[in-house]
Each structure stands twice: as C-alpha cells, then as structure tokens.
Chain A
Amino acid sequence: MSVRDKRLQLNNVTVSFDGFKALNDLSLYVDPGELLCIIGPNGAGKTTMMDVVTGKTRPDSGTASFGDDYDLLHLSEADIVDAGIARKFQKPTVFEQLTVFENLELALAGVRSFLKTLRARITDAQHKRIQQVLDIIGLSQLRDAPGRILAHGQKQWLEIGMLLMQNPELLLVDEPVAGMTPQEIERTSELLLSLAGEHSVVVVEHDMAFVRSIARRVVVLHEGHVIAEGNMDKVQQDPKVIEVYLGV
C-alpha cells in the first residue's frame, strides 16, 4: 500500500447561505491515520464541513487542502474522490437492487467511464479484495443477497465497505450509529477502530456514549466554529461546551 501521509487541513473556512453563516472561520486538521470525532448540536455546521471537504459546497473564503498537492477548493467532486477522500452519508444508501457483492464491485477503485465498464471484468486480485472487505464488514454470508433485504446496520456496514473498496486515505463518516441497536453500535465501533491507522477517519456523531467509546481526539463545533478540542474528558469539562450542550 502506498504511503499514506496526507493531512487534511481547513483554514478559516466560511460558508454562508443567504447571510446565515453555516461555517464561520472554521479551522481544523486531521492527521494521517487519526480517528477524529466531531460533535456539535444541530446546525453546528458538521454536514457543511463535510460538504466543503468533498467539494459539494464551495466556501466564501478560507482554504482546504489534503496533503501538499490537493487544493480541495479547486477540485471537482470526482477528483476529490480520486484524491482519496471518501464520504459516508447519514442515511445508508446502498444499491437496493444490486447484490452485496455487486455493490462492492461498483465501488472498486478503477475504471469509471461507460465504455470501459462495458468491458470490465473482475480480476482475481479484485475478487480477493472484495472478499477481504466482505470479511472486514462481516457480510460474507450475505454476498449474494440484494441490498434491499439488509438490516439497517448491515446497510451501514456495506456502505463503509463500499468506501473501503476505493482504498481511501480519509473516510468521512456521518452519524454512523444513528438508529442502530446496541449490538450494532458495538460492532460499528470495533469496525471504525480497526480502520483507523490504515485510514484517517472522521466521524460526525451525536451519540456521546459511542463517541466516548471510540474517540481519541474530539472537536466540538458550534455555530460553524470550533469551540473546544481535545480528548473526551477535557472537552466535556469545557465550560463553553457545557453551555452549548446544557450539561452533557
């Protein structure tokens, strides 16, 4: 595997929608291999922050870079994916009519154009990689089941698996455990912890117990701005955080 040493860096990013500042002078970084948790109340700008990183939203000012070579503000969404940033949306969207295996096949890094996928065949190495990811996400038994029959948690894992197929350096994971059973949550934290190191992982989450179970470093957003940063204990004792969260 190639050297993975790209650092995500956002500096003074501001995004406003009709005068409302979704992000207000936001600066944060993610080190290679790190597992960073971002928390914050609704409307704190967590999703907008991910939109900026993935190129969906362009900020009014500020910079966003990934490693030394990638200026995220001037790359298309597809180019950002190529640069090694993968995003998992809040709502699991797997392809319902395709099997688990086919879902992973489409997520394989490699050919994307119509004429090339028309002739694409799965190589042995790719087959092995798909099997490997099936094992990581624990869905080997269900490889030929269509996406629509999967349980909620299984869909979330499949989607994480699809991100892994692209071999991303940085995984952005939006509220992975929302709506999960306790068993599924436990399984998900194991999964995310096993991914850190190999990948940089950014998790946006509301569930404090879950964040506590996986977080090393936590960033708290409020009104588009970082108000606290550090380990979970430090953050929870921060007076500004207590004020915003009313006693969490």
Chain B
Amino acid sequence: MFRLWSKGIPEDRGGAWFLAVLAVVAVAVPLLNQLVPASSALHLSVFGITLIGKYLCYGMLALAVDLIWGYCGILSLGHAAFFSLGGYAMGMYLMRQIGPRGVYGNPILPDFMVFLNYKSLPWFWYGFNHFSLAVVMVVLTPGLLALVFGWFAFRSRVTGVYFSIITQALTYALLLAFFRNDMGFGGNNGFTDFKDILGFDLHSDGTHVVLLVVTAVALAASYMACRTIVDSRAGRVIRAIRDAESRTRFLGYPVESYKLWLFVFSAVIAGVAGALYVPQIGIINPSEFSPINSIEAVIWVAVGGRGTLYGAVAGAVLVNYAKTYLTGAFPEIWLYALGALFVLVTLFLPRGVIGLLSGRRREKADPKPIE
C-alpha cells in the first residue's frame, strides 16, 4: 500500500504544464500582436502585452518568494526590495540611454539631476551607459544585499516572525532612502521617460514583444533552476530545515549557509524580475519598495499554493489579474478583497489553488502554518 508515495516523486507534471503554458504565451503573444491586424478583435495591443509582461515579472517574484518560503520556511516580507533594486539598476541604464534627448538636453546628466542642480554624474552612475554593467549590477546588487543581510540575520539565528519583521524594515528603510533627492536616484519621481534599450525603441510594439518573450524565457529558466535545486539532495536538506531546523543542524548540515545561499539566489531571481519589469512598465520609483508590495507577493504565493513553484506563478497571475480588474471596476474594494482572499485561502485552501486543482488535497496539509 505504500507504493502510493513512491510514484510521481521526481516527475514534475505540474511543471511540465506550466512550461507548456509559458511556451504558448511566448508564441501566441507575438503572433496575436504582429500578425493579427489591429482591426481584428483578436489583436493584442501593446497595452495587453505590457500587462502580460508585468504578470510574468510578478510570477518570477512569486517564484523567488516560494523558493525560500515554501521550501525553507523563511518568510521574507521584503522581497520587493530585491525586485526594486534590480529594477533601479536597469533603470539607471535606461536613463543613461536617453542622453541628449531629455527635456534639458544634457548628454550626460539625466533630467532629474539637471533639475536638482547636480554638477556632475555621481560616481555610482559611472559605466551605467553600458548594458553589460547594468546586467551585472542587476544580479550583484540584490545578491550582495541579500548576502550581507542574510549573513547577519541567519548567523544570529533570527528566524520566524522576527526575520519577517526585519525584512519588512529593510524594504521600508530602502523606501525612505530612495525617496531622498540627494541619494542620486531621482527621489520621489524615480526614473521614467525611457527612450530605448540596446538601441531598440521602447515605444514600438516589436520591442515589447521581444521583452515579453525574454521575460517568459527568464521565468522558465528560473523555474527550472529552482526545480533543480528543490529536487536535489540540497532541496531535501532545505525542506528538512523547514521541518526541523535544529535536527538538520545536528546531522552536520551548515543550516545557516543553506539558508544564506537560498536567500541570495532567491534575491537574484527577484532582482532579474525587477530588471525585466522596468523597461516594460516604463517607470521605477521608490513606491516599488513599499512594504505592501512584499506582502502582496507573499499573498500570491499563498493563493497559488506554497511549495510547488508553479503554483506561486499561477497565484501571481491570478491575483494580479483580479487586481487589474477590480482596481478598474471597483477601485475602493481592492484592498479588502485582497485581505479577504488571503484569509479565505489560509483557512480553506492551505495548499492554494494548485492544491485544489491537483485534487490531491491531503487531510493534513503539507506546509506548516505561517510563522
């Protein structure tokens, strides 16, 4: 009778479905935009592409949150910080690409610097006219912050709700810092008015189609990387840490280093998601750091289904679709709807929408309750 559990352990049917859907999106979106005439009802406007691109970026952020929360029990309420830092790094490149086409026509200084009376480019803006440096920084900035922050937090054995609170404080601190004009990141207004990326016009449909396809590929690659990790022995150690941390330590596993590397990897995925988000949306400002964004990301994961990876992406898309609809139709009820959704899912769908779909709801739900 115990054969029951041995079947289907390494095979990843949900993941196969997920990648298939992603592939369909990556093929259908360009076709519907480029080949279907604008007069047709099936034509996908650039607005639609941007929306789908945004959902996919949020899907990547949700994936990053699920990797650490669903599998290792680390509830980060500051993942939007890594997302935003990746976005800012990309934004700096896009700002430098504007060059003399800005309102003030300064070939070196972005508009906001001219406006704020900067005499010269701050040192940390050097090199951001090169795409390659921006890409490096997209990975490095969130990665390094997660490394330093995680090193202190995990080494001091900060866990559970305390960890969640300090991650929330981290993103709030960054929010306040990026609001300041003298930080050199555009203060309140952030970056916008982007013109092009790698020489391609950001106002053309074609560029948006390519960005969407790149995002889909990045999401698929992140998914497969996460899947590889969680299916390896390291992944079993990570789940062991979630279930019984000190027991894992007693087996000789350096628990802190597992948490740290997982946290860093997760932060990098979030950073890349942010970097893909900014050119598609066309703006990045400090509000991206606001604590509610990180909390929303956690809700996406909870709604979709913790500890499945693809469930997190599904949750991100579903909740954001609902958000797009509700904030348009009934703007005042959105936050209540979000809160109610979270409560209902926690109470009635501990395994999320995916748990409901897969029909394998176990009486005792797998993940431990939120700590």
Contact = CB atoms under 8 A, between A and B. Distances in A.
Interface residues of B, number: 31
B247 A93 contact: yes
Nearest to A109: B252
Given A117-B237, A120-B233, A95 B247 contact: yes
B236 to A, nearest CB: 5
Interface residues of A, number: 36
A33 interface: no
A98 interface: yes
Contacts of B253: 106, 112, 117
A198 interface: no
A166 interface: yes
Interface in A61-108: 77-78, 81-82, 87, 89, 93-99, 102, 105-107
Contact of A102 (B234, B236, B257, B258): B236
A77 B249 contact: yes
Contacts of B239: 95, 97-98
Given A93-B244, A148-B364, A78 B233 contact: no
B348 interface: no
Given A118-B229, A144-B5, A106 B250 contact: no
Contact of A95 (B234, B244, B246, B262): B244
A141 interface: yes
A228 interface: no
A144 B261 contact: no
Given A96-B243, A114-B261, A105 B5 contact: no
B251 A106 contact: yes
Interface in A128-151: 141-146, 148
A106 B236 contact: yes
Given A93-B244, A97-B366, A113 B2 contact: no
A106 B257 CA distance: 16
Contacts of A144: 2-3, 5-6
A238 B253 CA distance: 44
B254 A112 contact: yes
B114 interface: no
Given A78-B254, A107-B251, A117 B2 contact: no
Contacts of B228: 118
Nearest to B247: A93
B235 to A, nearest CB: 8
B234 A114 contact: yes
A77 B250 contact: yes
B234 A117 contact: yes
B161 to A, nearest CB: 21
B228 to A, nearest CB: 8
B253 to A, nearest CB: 5
A112 B232 CA distance: 13
A81 B2 contact: no
Contacts of A99: 5
Nearest to A86: B250
Nearest to A79: B252
Contact of B252 (A98, A112, A141): A112
Contacts of A142: 2
A160 interface: no
Given A117-B234, A120-B232, A82 B244 contact: no
A168 to B, nearest CB: 11
Contacts of A143: 2
Contacts of B250: 54, 77, 81, 87
A146 B251 contact: no
Contacts of B257: 113-114
B218 interface: no
B240 interface: yes
Contacts of A95: 239-240, 243-244, 247-248
A187 B247 CA distance: 24
B232 to A, nearest CB: 5
A82 B250 CA distance: 11
B203 to A, nearest CB: 43
Contacts of B254: 78, 112-114
B249 A105 contact: no
Contacts of B243: 95-98
B2 A141 contact: yes
Interface in B245-289: 246-254, 257-258, 261-262
A94 B251 CA distance: 11
Nearest to B5: A144
Contacts of B246: 93
Contact of A78 (B229, B236, B252, B364): B252
A162 B6 CA distance: 20
A117 B94 CA distance: 40
B6 to A, nearest CB: 4
A194 to B, nearest CB: 23
A109 to B, nearest CB: 9
Contacts of A166: 251-252
B348 to A, nearest CB: 21
Interface in B195-250: 228-229, 232-234, 236-237, 239-240, 242-244, 246-250
Nearest first, the 4 A-B pairs at minimum CB distance are A117-B234, A144-B6, A118-B234, A117-B233
27 contacts: A77-B250, A78-B254, A81-B251, A82-B252, A93-B247, A94-B247, A95-B239, A95-B243, A98-B239, A98-B240, A106-B236, A106-B237, A106-B240, A107-B251, A112-B253, A112-B254, A113-B254, A114-B237, A114-B254, A114-B261, A114-B262, A115-B261, A117-B234, A118-B228, A118-B229, A120-B232, A142-B2
Given A77-B249, A107-B251, A144-B5, 4 more contacts: A78-B249, A95-B243, A106-B248, A112-B253
